[in-house]
């Protein structure tokens, strides 16, 4: 199993964790930015991190029948986790602003389901997935993610494990620390890129 420092090193070297001055999609500012897609774009590195997370999942949750991930960020992570757990892997997509199963995916009654994400900030998408599990009368075993950057503001209160937990402070534009004021702010992220 990877240590915290080994996990952090891989995130930095793959540019999944950047340091500088960032304007987040919320409009808040931060000195760190997480873009897990950068890690997932390098399969060998992603596999190392995901296999370590699988070890934690096995020791915390036991047998899993289905891995459910929210699209789009959780799909790759869910697939790799499912592969190593020998579990079916499905994903939920947003339809009219609600996560739903499509593409013929289903969750059999009483199956043991693990919700998997790449990054958890508030846990809102993971909780939406849990509603799908409950609606299908399946058993929600727990939640897993590569990066928990919730700053202890997670909506999920139990049964969640992460490969790495990172505290990322956020600031209002009018309340920036002096070190951030000296750095030009950039707007990274999927919601800020041109289509």
Contact at 8 Å (CB) between 17 and 164? no
Percentage of the chain lying above the pLDDT 70 cut = 96
3-state helix, strand, coil in the chain (%, to 5): 35, 30, 35
What is the tens place of the pLDDT at every residue in 89-118?
Answer: 999 999 998 999 999 999 999 999 999 999
End-to-end CA distance of the chain: 38
What average pLDDT does the structure give for the chain?
91
What is the tens place of the pLDDT at every residue in 122-145?
Answer: 888 999 999 999 999 999 999 999
Per-residue pLDDT band for 189 (boundaries 50, 70, 90) equals low
Q: How high is the pLDDT of residue 123?
A: 85
Give 99's strand partners: 94
Per-residue pLDDT band for 156 (boundaries 50, 70, 90) equals confident
Query: In this predicted model, which residue has the larger pLDDT, 151 or 57?
Result: 57
Q: What is the CA radius of gyration of the chain?
A: 17
Q: How high is the pLDDT of residue 151?
A: 78
Query: Distance between CA 183 and CA 27 in Å, rounded?
Result: 17
* pLDDT(162) > 50: yes
Query: Distance between CA 117 and CA 104 in Å, rounded?
Result: 21
Tokens of 20: 């500088």
Contact at 8 Å (CB) between 128 and 101? no
Q: How high is the pLDDT of residue 28?
A: 87
Q: How high is the pLDDT of residue 135?
A: 96
- Which residue ranges form the domains of the chain, and what is each CATH number? 4-181 (3.40.50.2020)
Query: What DSSP designation does 82 have?
Result: H
- Supply φ then ψ for residue 117, to 5 degrees: -130, 165
Query: In this predicted model, which residue has the larger pLDDT, 188 or 70?
Result: 70
Look at 43-47, 165-169, 187-191 and tell me which has the smallest mean pLDDT: 187-191
What is the tens place of the pLDDT at every residue in 49-67?
Answer: 999 999 999 999 999 999 9
């Amino acid at each position: 199993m990877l240590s915290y420092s080994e996990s952090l090193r891989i995130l930095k070297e793959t540019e999944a964790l950047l340091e500088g001055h960032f304007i987040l999609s919320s409009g808040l500012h931060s000195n760190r930015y997480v873009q897990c897609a950068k890690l997932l774009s390098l399969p060998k590195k992603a596999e190392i991190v995901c296999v370590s997370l699988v070890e934690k999942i096995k020791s915390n949750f036991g047998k899993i029948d289905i891995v459910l991930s929210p699209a789009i960020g959780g799909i790759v992570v869910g697939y790799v986790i499912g592969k190593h757990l020998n579990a079916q892997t499905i994903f939920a997509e947003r339809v009219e602003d609600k996560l739903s199963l499509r593409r013929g995916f289903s969750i059999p009654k009483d199956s043991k389901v693990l919700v998997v994400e790449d990054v958890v900030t508030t846990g809102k998408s993971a909780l939406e997935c849990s509603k799908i599990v409950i609606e299908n009368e399946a058993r929600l075993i727990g939640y897993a993610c590569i990066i928990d950057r919730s700053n202890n503001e997670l909506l999920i209160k139990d049964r969640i494990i992460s490969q790495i937990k990172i505290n990322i402070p956020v600031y209002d534009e009018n309340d920036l620390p002096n070190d951030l004021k000296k750095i030009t702010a950039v707007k990274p992220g999927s919601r800020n890129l041109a289509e």
